[in-house]
Structure 1
């Protein structure tokens, strides 16, 4: 086949364009832990032996203690939360530190190891870390001095400011230059301007605010009451309540997994001494409601793999040795059970 001059010039131009794109935008190869499921094992109080396991759901292969193996030192804390933000993984220990790791191989990138009391979660905004922290206990085990800690570097460092908020802040979510804070004990959502580093608005809600999530182009809040649960959405132009949905689900724990087709799975527990635990199934955007979808005891964490349509339920087994994970399909059928670490409490699907 022969090419004329115009065809040759077009082919050369295309080749140069493709080469330029490859040079300017190289694709980062996937690391060992960039896919699969991260299992968060809280650890036991006093031993501070929290750790992360990695599961390949296709092969069933589990790799244990991946932080310690990657960094030649134990995590040494009670693991409260794992957040993937700003292309980094943030491991939050409620014993007073944040470890920042490379998502692909879990090697350390930085840390926040001082001036924290009982951190719960975090978000990244305006090139800073905003960390929810219960603050220190007083003589009555109250937390009157809860705060959002500000670290002006996404790879850690020192706490530069503590923004006072209502007692026991939990989850946070970013929107533009703002973050919303779930104040679990006083039923408040506090809005923080991340540039001013101060609370600019407080929204009163019922129940105990627990988890934020995004759906249908909105930010939602999941909040729990003694006999019901609440799902709130917000007007984000002026930070006011938009909708409130209430479902009669008693004993909700605040732990939730987001499934396919707008279905949510909520952990419930009667607490001590019976510990009759269960999973309720609900859809905020539809009529589905099944408060007794699955039952058992010792449930401590929950997560959903949307790709495979599988629900992961963590059982702490009373912190007597290692915990176990049960995998369910979307009809509540048990697919498998396997051993995890001490106090498995959450999952991050990659």
Structure 2
């Protein structure tokens, strides 16, 4: 073997070992703390919950948890804390912390799981068929349901007293309602009509929270999904289009008039706010290929100010972005990766300037994140 070949092999082996070592350090799957885990970060943040959706109809949704004080990262955390509950259920679809409780919407198991936000201890369940997303105001939670409570087949929103954990009212909205947001004491519901493709719904249902009566509907665009309120009290709602001729976009609604004041032709799959910025990613399937895009929108000007939310090296590492959450304290952010949707996913944590800080292996299809403060 000649000298040049030996040198080439040495370089290859060194590079291979470096890549493997880096991967093991950044994506350690251990449940207990080790030198390769996240360094303890005592401060205002107590922890981060990740709801892993699991495979459809496989009853394997799960909860992951990062303890910031110790650096410990746990998978299957719900089962560890609640060994007698028989698991979290089938297809986790939303996760929120409100007051002192953690709420997980478990779609195919047809209930909302209620836990203590600091311990993840089971506190109760609320049965809601085909439940999707949850929102809160005062002493009430609101949950969208694809199920119909009327002959016309439209979905509804259940109103829940969070103290008694009882459903106290229901209201019919559009077809297959998804996310909700609150502004000006009104509940805004994004209707998708996903079960009725290609005849998707195109409306946002507006409900007065005092009377719990529908005010009207705002026509926005087909197949609506995400809907969020920014610090300027403007509502951002995404349209997924029809996956053929109608392209995705995001619209901005002024809740003082309930009129659309802007529309940006951007494919946004999920979004999160930090001060005057909106962080987003979009996944598009074209010609058999998957293209992921990332960016930042200035919510004051309502214009894209950057297409580099994360640096290009880390961008190519993420296969299937599936959730995003900004830390409101410093602008750092988390992105989950569902990978091939059959393997355990990943959680990436980035600094405010888009540099990767660490990565952890999660459960199957991680998609929903909630930070818990002390």
TM-score bucket (shorter structure): 0.7 to 0.9
Distance in 2, matches of 1:331 and 1:106, equals 32
Q: Shift of residue 93 of structure 1?
A: 0.8
Which residue of structure 1 aligns with residue 252 of structure 2? Answer: 232
- For residues 288 and 275 of structure 1, the distance between their equivalents in structure 2, rounded to whole angstroms, comes to 22
Within 2, Cα distance between the matches of 1:310 and 1:216?
A: 18
- Corresponding residue number in structure 1 for 2:90: 77
**1:125-204 map, 5 Å:** 125=137, 127-135=139-147, 144-157=153-166, 159=167, 161-175=169-183, 177-185=185-193, 186-204=201-219
RMSD, aligned α-carbons:
2.9
CA distance in structure 2 between the partners assigned to 1:269 and 1:292 by the alignment: 17
Please point out which of 103, 108, 122 is paired with 2:117.
103
CA distance in 1, matches of 2:275, 2:136: 27
| Deviation, structure 1 residue 62 | 0.6
Gaps of 5+ in 2: 1-43, 194-200, 242-246, 310-314
Pairing 1:1-350 to 2, within 5 Å after superposition: 35-57=46-68, 60-72=71-83, 73=85, 74-95=87-108, 96-113=110-127, 116-125=128-137, 127-135=139-147, 144-157=153-166, 159=167, 161-175=169-183, 177-185=185-193, 186-226=201-241, 227-236=247-256, 239-241=257-259, 243-244=261-262, 246-250=263-267, 252-253=268-269, 255-270=270-285, 273-286=288-301, 287-291=303-307, 293=309, 294-295=315-316, 296-350=318-372
The 3 A distance-change label for structure 1 pair 300 and 284 is: same
Alpha-carbon distance in structure 1 between the residues aligned to 2:154 and 2:91: 21
Contact 1:40 1:81 in 2 (8 A): yes
The unaligned stretches of length 5 or more in structure 1 are 1-32, 137-142
Find the aligned partners of 1:182 and 1:299 in 2 and give their Cα distance. 22
Report 1 or 2 for greater relative contact order, CA contacts < 8 Å, sequence distance ≥ 6.
Answer: 2
**Counterpart-to-counterpart distance in 2, 1:89 and 1:204:** 33
SS of 1:317's partner is: coil
Q: CA deviation at 1:202?
A: 1.2
Partners of 2:304 and 2:291 lie apart in 1 by 23
TM-score, length-normalised on structure 1?
0.76
Q: Tell me if the contact between 2:248 and 2:265 (Cα under 8 Å) persists in the aligned partners.
A: yes
- The alignment's TM-score, normalised by the length of structure 2, stands at 0.72
Secondary structure of 1:36's aligned partner: strand
> Offset of 1:160 from its aligned partner?
5.2
Matched residue SS, 2:299: coil
Q: What CA distance in whole angstroms lies between the structure 2 residues aligned with 1:233 and 1:75?
A: 36
CA contact (8 A) 1:54 1:62 kept: yes
Could you tell me whether the CA contact under 8 Å between 1:249 and 1:280 is conserved in 2? no
